[in-house]
Every structure is written in C-alpha cells, then in structure tokens.
Amino acid sequence: MSKRYAGIAWTETGYRVEVLDDTGRHVAEPSSWSGGQVGELIAWLGGLGDGPAPAVVLDSTNGLLDGPMTAAGLEVYRADPWLLPPRPRFGSVPAGQLAEQARTAPGAPARVTAEGGTLTGRAEEYFDGVRRGEPARAALTEAGGCFDHGRRDDRRVALTFDDGPDPVYTRQVVEILERYGARATFFCVGHHVAALPDEVRRIASYGHELGNHSWSHPFLPDLTPAELREQLDRTAEELDRVTGAVPTWFRPPYGALTPEVLAALEGHPTTLAMWDVDARDWSRPGPEQIAATVLEGAGPGSVVLMHEGAGDRAQTVQALPSIIEGLLERGLELVTVGELAAMAGPTAGA
C-alpha cells in the first residue's frame, strides 16, 4: 500500500482537504469541512479506502487539529514556514501544497506527538522567544496591559478554558460550572466561533466571560504583524457579531510572547490575559493528575489555564468537579478574569 498524504488548510470558512498518494495523484476529490465537523473529518480520513489513514499535514498557523487527530491515532505532521511558499494574509498554505511538501520531502515536516503538542520539535525556540520577551512583558504588566494573576490576599480564583467552543465538551463544562454556581472565562478561537455560534451564545447566557484566543490558534512568531492583528480583529468581529460584545481580553496561543509578537501588539486595543497555574490538561495525563496539578498550584488570586476545545477534553471534564470542590473547600470563590482583575492593583500580575 502506497503512502498517502492529507494536506489540510484552514480558510475563512473552514477546512479544505486534499489527499495525494505517493505518485501525486488525488486519492479523493478535494473536500471542504466546517470548523464544527472535525469529528466527521477524522472519521472520513480513517475510512478513506483500503489500508491505513493518510498522514495529515498542517502548517504552523493551524493549532486546532493536531490535538483531536493525534488523540484519534492519526499520523500528524507540521510543515513550518521555511518549507513552504508564502501564505495568504488570512488562511494557511493551500491544502494541495501541504500534501505535496510531505510527499516530495517526507523527512522535512515535523512529526507532531500527543506529548509534545503542536510545537513538537520547536520547544527550544519557543522558550528562547519567551525569555527574550520577558522584559517587555514585565513592563507591559506594570502598565496594566498584561494580567497574570490577582492579588494574593483576594480569596478568589479565575478558571479559564481555551480553544473552544467545542460541539461536545463546551456544554459539559458549562453544565458543571452551573452546578456549582461558578463563573469562568472562555478564550475562544474565531474559527470555532464562526462554526458554533449557538455554543458561544450558550456560554454567555450563563454569565461567563468571553475572550479572544486568535482565529486559528497559530504559533504567533510565525506571523507577520499584519497577519497577527488580522487574527485578533477577525475573532473580535465574530464574537461581536454572535454576542453583541467585543472581547477586551486576548490570550496568546501557547503564551508565545516574544519581543516581536509584543511589538506587533503594541497599541492594539486589547489586554493580555495570561495565567499562573497551568493544568497541562492538553497532554491528557489523567483526570486525577489534572486535578492535583491545579489544586497544588492554585491559591488566592490565581488564574488557572485549562482547555475545552481543539482536542479530546474528556479528562478535563472529569477533573473539573474535583477542582471546583477543592477550591471551594478552601473558601475560594470562582470568578471571571475580568472580575479578578478589577480588584487587582496595576502590578498584580508582576
């Protein structure tokens, strides 16, 4: 059986898929899928003719598919910018070019693992960029443009959920929060907001806060300043269209605040929302470990990072009641990032 490659591009309206065999012939007609049809897309790839599913090829501006696809057992690769032709200002490299890159240079794209996440193989570059950005980020925090956590004498905690909405897990998270009378902040990606507007309205209807998490969850250092701002502005416009309100918070995917990213964001009408407790639930270490990580790290004023979209978030859902009960038993109230920040001084995130 010859090797097959499924290039998947994100566009303004969803995903475009082209599947090639090792001779460059199309295995199936190019197809289009909405951002809410990831489960159906995975099933389609798995049932595509005889033999194993094709290897999936994404580019680094698409951080929404590797999680659910690796969880489903698919072979996923990331083609980085230096391997590819220029992208359009809004969208990834076309699907056919992604598949062709993997077909003609199969050793070049990086294999993405569930353990390493989207940035498998680029961790050193990521951490170096964050270190270089620390002085500018500290100055921005001092000026009130970046929020990491609240005051340590404020007996409240902000639970936050990234990468949604999701057609399955978002509703489960909202129902658990409602059971305990807790409010949270959901940092949404525009790609999913456009596909699942009713889920976004449902989040808002329960009194939760909505934040901006970019359109396609890209690795921000790979974007030009214009592309970065386009990601934020399109997502803000979509959230405003769906809910009637423009988000005031932006959480950068992966927290990748390099000096170049911070310079591109200078003057943008948004406040950065970071965190001081990372549940690391994206790595799916088990619900008990997720709960333990949060409860060991969280205290008064904490902002907790979790996820309810762009992957298999069943473990997060399973861990959430234990997390909430553990925090409530300590006398900590669960509020939104905006509520936590409102009581904080200008240097609370320092």
User: Which position among 149, 191, 217, 307 bears the catalytic label?
Assistant: 307
Token look-up 């090829």 returns: 57
d(CA 145, CA 322): 33
Residue 277: which residues within 8 A CB-CB, separation 6 or more?
293, 294, 297, 298, 302, 303, 304, 305
Element (H, E) at 78: strand 76-79
CA-closest candidate to residue 65, choices 7, 136, 141, 128: 7
To the query of whether residue 162 is one of the catalytic residues in this protein, the response is yes
Sheet holding 15-21, edge to edge: 31-33, 15-21, 4-10, 55-59, 76-79, 110-112
Structure-token pair, residue 266: 């200078």
DSSP letter (8 states) at residue 88:
P
Residues 343/149, Cβ–Cβ less than 8 Å = no
307 a catalytic residue: yes
- The catalytically annotated residue of 59, 148, 154, 162 is 162
Asked if 236 contacts 246 with a C-beta cutoff of 8 angstroms, the reply is: yes
Give catalytic residues, as residue numbers.
Answer: 162, 307
